[in-house]
Amino acid sequence: MTLIILLLAVLGLVLLITAVKLHPFIAFLIVCILTGLSRGMEISKIVVSIQKGIGDLMGSLMIILCIGAMLGKLVADSGAANKIASGLIKGFGVKYIQWALVLTAFIVGIPLFYGVGFVLLIPLIFAVAEKYKIPVVYLGLPTLAALSVTHGYLPPHPSPVALAQQFHADMGMILFYGILIAIPAIIIAGPIFSVTLKKYNPKPLAIFATHTVPEAEQPGMLASMFAAFMPVLFIATDTIVRILFPQKNIITDIVHTFGEPSIAMLASLLIAIYTLGIRQKKKIKTIMAPMGDAVKDISSILLIISGAGAFKQILTDTHISSELVQPLTHLAIHPLLLAWTIAAIIRVSIGSATVAGLTAAGIMAPMIAASGVNPALMVLSTGAGSLMFSHVNDPGFWMFKEYFNLSVRDTIKTWSIMETIVSVVGLIGVFIIDYFI
């Protein structure tokens, strides 16, 4: 019965959005209420659950997405995105520009949270695609595949770090094995899979449409890179300081403050306003107007993501995810495969990779001592499962759909398949390493 309710909820969500043409936020609310009622929840508790889901998700994403939109708009309008794109072309050539963006995303993705990396790289993807007439999904999906892999597999991202604590795994071994698995996962889910995506060439979100800025008026390459990737510098510095200098003092406190993603984004925006705006002889009023428009343009995205958060919370509070995976723990399955399977089921059920990974770890942790499996591989297997088949209940699905202006069907054919490849290749990589060690 639990599985039937979940399938009906997901099917109803898809039909309300695609067939009835309701706004996804409204569709999410309707499905949340019906799902809660079907599980015997009181309407007052359903409302509380919806509010909690929206609050928990938007509390962590609102600042990042809004400031990210402002920063992206400033980078695009100032000509900085075009300047960086031109630099990448000179360095790698048009033939290898996709690989250049994938490498950039992998490097950026290690210290940055997924949402931060997403909003930072989007203007760059769109600028390169428009400048060189390359299909935007063909260029963008491999870049985001690299971000997704770092988010699910590699420390210092929250899920791998938390999984390491749950399984008592060595962080260095997780990073070493994780990179070995990440490279083929990115290549297969990115550049190789993208060969099939050249037919998808929608007109992306208007706020990041690049404007032709005369060469003489464009900021320099150093200023452009500095403005676009300042959050990377702040957060990466914080990560290094936390590892090398665990003892707190006034210096480390300052570094940790600017390494907090929301503060890093705000500080980076203020610096970019000066370097890409005021220093270029632009007035504050002129700079602020398009940045305000950028936030208006992503308001629909914010609503959709908040709806996904509400749906995730309803599925958690009704215990649908735990009821689906509990019977699996009694089956004679290899622990690595079992951890991946449990995480994958929870991921498909509720959408959140972090929740999927941590829930699976809570179920598997008591078994690891008796299993004899390498704890680092358990972390990576669980992380791979937590990336399985992102679809309509995952905020990342809607971010990709809305920014790239795709239909739900085409998002499933592109984004969802990419995430599935990343997950399956990760599982295969874990078993290969397990065989040789």
pLDDT tens string 12-44 = 988 898 889 898 899 999 999 999 999 999 999
Q: What local confidence, expressed as pLDDT, does residue 76 receive?
A: 78
Which pLDDT band holds residue 59 (cuts at 50, 70, 90)?
Answer: confident
Rounded Cα gap, residues 323 and 318, in angstroms: 9
Average pLDDT of the segment spanning 179-200: 96
Average pLDDT of the segment spanning 89-94: 87
Average pLDDT of the segment spanning 315-336: 78
- Residue bearing the bigger pLDDT, 374 or 63: 374
Listed in sequence order, the residues at least 6 apart from 173 whose beta carbon sits closer than 8 Å to its beta carbon are: 374, 376
Q: What local confidence, expressed as pLDDT, does residue 344 receive?
A: 94
Q: What local confidence, expressed as pLDDT, does residue 210 receive?
A: 56
Listed in sequence order, the residues at least 6 apart from 417 whose beta carbon sits closer than 8 Å to its beta carbon are: 193
Which pLDDT band holds residue 182 (cuts at 50, 70, 90)?
Answer: very high
Tokens matching residue 296: 């208006």
User: 35, 2 in Cβ contact below 8 A?
Assistant: no
User: 78, 199 in Cβ contact below 8 A?
Assistant: no
Q: What local confidence, expressed as pLDDT, does residue 215 receive?
A: 72
The pTM is what?
A: 0.78
**Which among 383, 393, 375, 381 has a CA at the least distance from the CA of 321?**
393
Distances (CA, A) of 60 to 117, 202, 396: 14, 29, 14
pLDDT tens-digit map of 367-411? 776 678 999 999 999 999 999 999 998 989 999 999 999 999 999
pLDDT tens-digit map of 193-221? 999 999 998 987 666 665 566 777 788 88
Q: What local confidence, expressed as pLDDT, does residue 246 receive?
A: 87
Q: Where on the phi/psi map is residue 337: left (φ > 0), alpha (ψ -120 to 50), or beta? A: alpha
Which pLDDT band holds residue 117 (cuts at 50, 70, 90)?
Answer: confident
Q: Of the segments 59-73, 211-225, 332-346, 374-388, which one has the largest average pLDDT value?
A: 374-388
Average pLDDT of the segment spanning 289-308: 84
Q: Look at residue 133 and tell me whether its pLDDT is greater than 80.
A: yes
Q: What local confidence, expressed as pLDDT, does residue 350 receive?
A: 80
Residue 216 identity (one-letter amino acid): A
Which pLDDT band holds residue 101 (cuts at 50, 70, 90)?
Answer: very high
Return the exposure string of 393-416: e unless at least 16 CB atoms fall within 10 Å of the residue's CB, then b.
bbbbbbbbbbbbebebebbbbbbb
Q: What local confidence, expressed as pLDDT, does residue 212 receive?
A: 62
